[in-house]
Amino acid sequence: MDRREQAQVGVRRTVIRTLAVLVGMFAFAFALVPLYDVFCQITGINGKVDATAQSIVHEGVDESRYINVQFITRGSPGLPWQMSVETRQMSVHPGQMAEVDFTFTNNSHSENWGRAVPSVSPSRATTHLRKISCFCFEEQQLEGDERLTIPLVFQLARDLPEDINTITLVYTLYPVDRVIQSVSLDNALQSNTLNDSQSDLRNDLKNNKVVGETI
């Protein structure tokens, strides 16, 4: 084999290997998405709370500490709802059960679906917050002009790190597009000025996803 042929074989080998790395890295980028979620779930880093009801743990109340728990509620453009909370902040002891009422108001005359997505800050507190009952576990439906009050029942774990004195819970309302409800389609179209067929598709997929897994 002369030098030129040798070089050609080498080039071919190099190309195949680099292509393999390319494909691998492209797949890696997508693999990072679930990995990231798992990582955050274990560590609670991005403030996403466990979205299933947890049971009360009777571990006694630590009366030596008061934790200031703050509540923030936010709406979003696609959903004509208002969300308010009975009190902006409360003091609780670790281990103590607490309850706070949230009120949802549908300001439009038509029925629609929404969901409140929670986020906890500081994120280190996430894994120490037990939600026994929360409206955020599932989607909700409100009739036109309906007003609904739902309590949040939670407990702070006693092993909450010493240096955390304040915990902020943020609920952001998001519209849930249900294809069956033609009203909510209207909503979606309002918020999405791109073309219609696209937004249909979007509704479809989003709906599947949201229904398929509980956040």
Binding site for another protein (CB under 8 A): 1, 3-5, 7-23, 25-26, 28-30, 32-33, 36-37, 40, 43, 45-48, 76, 117, 119, 121-124, 172, 174-175, 194, 198, 201-206, 209-210, 213, 215
Q: Which is nearer to another protein, 65 or 202 (CB)?
A: 202
State in angstroms the smallest separation of the CB of 215 from another protein. Answer: 5
State in angstroms the smallest separation of the CB of 60 from another protein. Answer: 28
In sequence order, what E strands does the chain have? 67-74, 81-85, 89-92, 97-106, 112-121, 129-133, 140-142, 147-156, 166-176
Q: Strands 67-74, 166-176: parallel, antiparallel or unpaired by DSSP?
A: parallel
Q: Which is nearer to another protein, 1 or 182 (CB)?
A: 1
| 66 Cβ neighbours under 8 A, 6+ residues apart | 91, 92, 93, 165
State in angstroms the smallest separation of the CB of 87 from another protein. Answer: 25
Structure tokens at 9: 């074989």
Q: Which is nearer to another protein, 76 or 84 (CB)?
A: 76
Q: Which is nearer to another protein, 100 or 210 (CB)?
A: 210
State in angstroms the smallest separation of the CB of 113 from another protein. Answer: 12
| 37 Cβ neighbours under 8 A, 6+ residues apart | none
Nearest-CA neighbor of 199 among 210, 209, 187? 187
Task: Return d(Cα 8, Cα 71) in angstroms, integer.
Answer: 67
State in angstroms the smallest separation of the CB of 70 from another protein. Answer: 16
Our CA angle for 85, 89, 90, nearest 5°, is 115
Q: Which is nearer to another protein, 25 or 182 (CB)?
A: 25
